[in-house]
Structure 1
């Protein structure tokens, strides 16, 4: 038996990264369901699984094919209503180490209502959240004071905050350090600069970060498939649909 991490889900097939770093396309053994979760998908990106190589399937395949036989208990997950079955849900990611909410007090405005809703959702899903205050190079004295007041409020209740600017390279090394070795999710309003931030710290993900931005923010994409991308400095970033509303299903 082999252990691995599910890094991509396409409904019936799952890409599992084995402990040796090999990518194995896997199916699920039988029809097992996760206890107490009425979900359209029993396995999701971020799950730790046990699988065995399927010799029957391998005969007809050009590369190894696996069969997932067990799933480890999740420390957390994000869930949303399934689009076609109102009584069921769809798990879009599991075992997330941290979420980053990218906010701007101007260009565009991120309201405290939006921030608080996101933080409440993250708490409900047991996902630690960091606030990234972006575009600090653009703010005048009055706006900088407003920004500092916000940081003081959120810091005082235990949230980690960071000022960033891609144009002036402010806070990027710290952000990279915080992401290293973790499974990360980014969110925030359209235009706050998520794509630019991610491109700056991991330029080879250029195309994917544009997709991440669109998935999170425009609401135009209806895909239900998630994928994790490995970061060159260690860790992962999750590209997943439906993160904008953070599910709110079982709150």
Structure 2
């Protein structure tokens, strides 16, 4: 039978077949997927073939995996050269961010967007906790909304606490498979509880001592939405390591840079110290946001060519 992976706990997988019936699955023997260097052979969202093992227990053996349309990864915490596939076969990725309690840095947002661009996954930014914003945060949001909208990203401002703006985000999720991501404490689970109360994900207060939030989800897990579509809830990601992106490729994953790359004097321009650089010219005349350029430089600096 054909089935989809809804949850992975390391050795066992929760699957659903095309009728929605749930099974417990395990991999048959050694499971190789080409030359892939991920720490997990299967990810939430994968389509697989499975054979019945025990009908009474609804347990199956996973025999093969279908080709992925796309996937999104993070670096393995144990081996930087390897990566862990967070989820596969996505229609879109939705990043929850906050400007207060905890503050999501623009650098983190940009790393997420670069990853989504690299894996051809449309990305949407949702800024939560608007009820906490004062003038400083309101001005900051207006600037970020302008920057990201101009590049072509959809940006939404919501307050789950005050139930503002959340219907627009609910509509975005309908009939799509959506990865929902962001630091712990930004309100992903609270949002899901508010919009889809029947799903009742666990929530946890932001840890006061760290301001980064506590981990409320330990494994990525997919949930069916009552109106159609699926969401994949992910562990609160503290750091999104970029995998398989070379220094030369990086600028291609910044849409505003992509527009001017052909105008650079050198076709191998890294947009740092080279003469005749169209990207640096665009930064100088404010057509590329200076903070986006700083993010680019920071990410470029973190890419070690030896890893690839």
Gaps in structure 2 of 5+ consecutive residues: 246-308
Q: What is the CA distance between 1:177 and its match in structure 2? A: 0.8
Distance 1:69 1:106 in 2: 46
Q: CA offsets, 1:207-228, max 9 Å, x none?
A: 43549x99xx6576895x4321
Q: Retained in 1: the 8 A contact 2:189–2:201?
A: no
1:245 aligns with 2:255: no
Q: In structure 2, how many angstroms separate the alpha carbons of the residues matched to 1:168 and 1:222? A: 24
The equivalent residue for 1:44 is: 43
Conservation of the 8 A alpha-carbon contact between 1:99 and 1:127: yes
8 A contact 1:103–1:110 mirrored in 2: yes
Q: Deviations over 1:180-210 (max 9, x none)?
A: 2222222334443333222211223334354
**Alignment match of 1:71 (pick from 46, 65, 76):** 65
Partner residue of 1:150?
Answer: 144
Per the alignment, in what secondary structure is the counterpart of residue 202 of structure 2?
helix
Partners in 1 of 2:109 and 2:65 — Cα distance? Answer: 33
Where structure 1 has 5 or more consecutive residues not aligned to the other structure, the ranges are none
Q: What's the CA shift string for 1:102-136, capped at 9, x where partnerless? A: 22334443332222122112222332211112222
Q: How many residues align?
A: 241
Query: Could you tell me how far 1:168 is from its partner in structure 2?
Result: 3.1
SS in 1 for 2:147: helix
Taking a change above 3 Å as real, the CA distance of residues 222 and 87 of structure 1, as seen in their structure-2 partners, is farther
* Structure 1 counterpart of 2:155, from 149, 161, 164: 161
CA contact (8 A) 1:80 1:247 kept: yes
SS at match of 1:208: coil
1:120 pairs with one of 114, 128, 134: 114
Listed one character per residue, the Cα deviations across residues 21-40 of structure 1 (whole Å, up to 9, x for unaligned) are 11122222342311120233
Alpha-carbon distance between aligned partners in 2 of 1:84 and 1:115, rounded to the nearest angstrom: 23
Q: Report the Cα offset of residue 172 of structure 1.
A: 0.9
RCO greater where, 1 or 2, for CA within 8 Å and sep 6 or more? 1
Contact 1:80 1:242 in 2 (8 A): no
Contact 1:164–1:170 (Cα < 8 Å) also in 2: yes
Please name the residue that 1:234 is paired with. 228
Cα RMSD for the two superposed structures: 2.9
Report the alpha carbon displacement of residue 96 of structure 1 after superposing the two structures with TM. Answer: 2.3
